[in-house]
Amino acid sequence: MNQGSSDTETKERLQEAPDPTAGRTLSIVAGDDQTAPLVMTDLGFPMATFDPVAAELRDADGAVLGGLAVAWSVGETPGNMGVQMDPMGTSPCIVMTDEHGVSTLDKMRGRSASAFYDYGPFTLVARHGATSAAAHMTVALPPALKPTIASGDNQSVARSGDRVPGGEAVFGPVRILLKDSQGRHAPDVRVRFEAVAPGAMKVRLSAEGDTATVISDAEGVATLNLMGGNGIVCSAGTGEFKVIVTPDNTKPIVSHHTVES
């Protein structure tokens, strides 16, 4: 038998060999149709996290199949969205089925995935051989927020003390209350404060200078009090100045203050 005939027969035998995964089916049995908001993290950027997702693998006769590999990957996502299923960033993420034929995606500290940078729907896809199943997830659009100045607006303070030449005007905390369109308090919202002052006036809101960022608490209140418990410290000038207050994804509001002459 020549080599050409041998190669042909080998290919034919391979083509005739049955696919061991034929007839197997995957179905999502937990964690489908989840919606989660972006929440500010200790890392300094917002992230949405999702509960575990599980897929069940069965053979052609409907019996569950344990001890087999299921490959999880991220399906289609909105333009700028990033999705992570494994702390090491591995994709596809391989998860074996248990004795009940279930492959559970939960490698992100007990969660299935973390999403960031964008809003909208995406999928987590489980695959085994030719079969696949998709879990549908959504990063919720941010709620429409209504910020109001709860306290600390329209303060008027004279400079005093001798820590710096001419003294300093020390203002109390400024508290911003955030509610959504349903009137519910909005926690974990990043709020940026920026001072706008005339002439030579020096305004400090934080160690960084004339800007500060605060996260709203469980009651939806963002408190500017980073100057030793005070809100604002001014030197080298008198007159009116403003603090522009901008919650994430919301139009700014303005608080007004005066350093007395």
pLDDT category at 252 given cuts 50, 70, 90 is: very high
- Render pLDDT for 183-214 as a digit per residue (tens, 0 to 9): 999 998 999 999 999 888 999 999 989 999 99
Q: What is the pLDDT of residue 165?
A: 87
Q: Catalogue all structural domains in the chain, each as residue range(s) with its CATH number.
A: 3-139 (2.60.40.10), 145-260 (2.60.40.10)
Q: What is the pLDDT of residue 15?
A: 59
Distance CA 215, CA 66 (A): 46
Distance CA 142, CA 140 (A): 6
| Strand-pair partners of 48 | 115
Q: Decide: pTM greater than 0.85.
A: no
For the residues 6-19, what does the mean pLDDT come to?
62
- Render pLDDT for 140-166 as a digit per residue (tens, 0 to 9): 987 789 999 999 999 999 999 888 888
Indicate whether 1 pLDDT > 50: no
pLDDT category at 98 given cuts 50, 70, 90 is: very high
| Strand-pair partners of 214 | 191
> Does residue 28 or residue 45 have the better pLDDT?
28
Strand ranges (E), 86-238? 93-96, 102-105, 113-116, 120-128, 131-139, 145-151, 155-158, 169-171, 174-180, 190-196, 202-204, 211-215, 221-224, 232-235
Buried b / exposed e over 125-142, threshold 16 CB at 10 Å, is bbbbbebbbbbbbbbeeb
Phi (first) and psi of residue 27, to 5 degrees: -145, 145
DSSP 3-state assignment of 93?
strand
Are 141 and 38 in contact, with CB atoms under 8 Å apart? no
- Render pLDDT for 66-90 as a digit per residue (tens, 0 to 9): 999 999 999 989 888 999 999 998 8
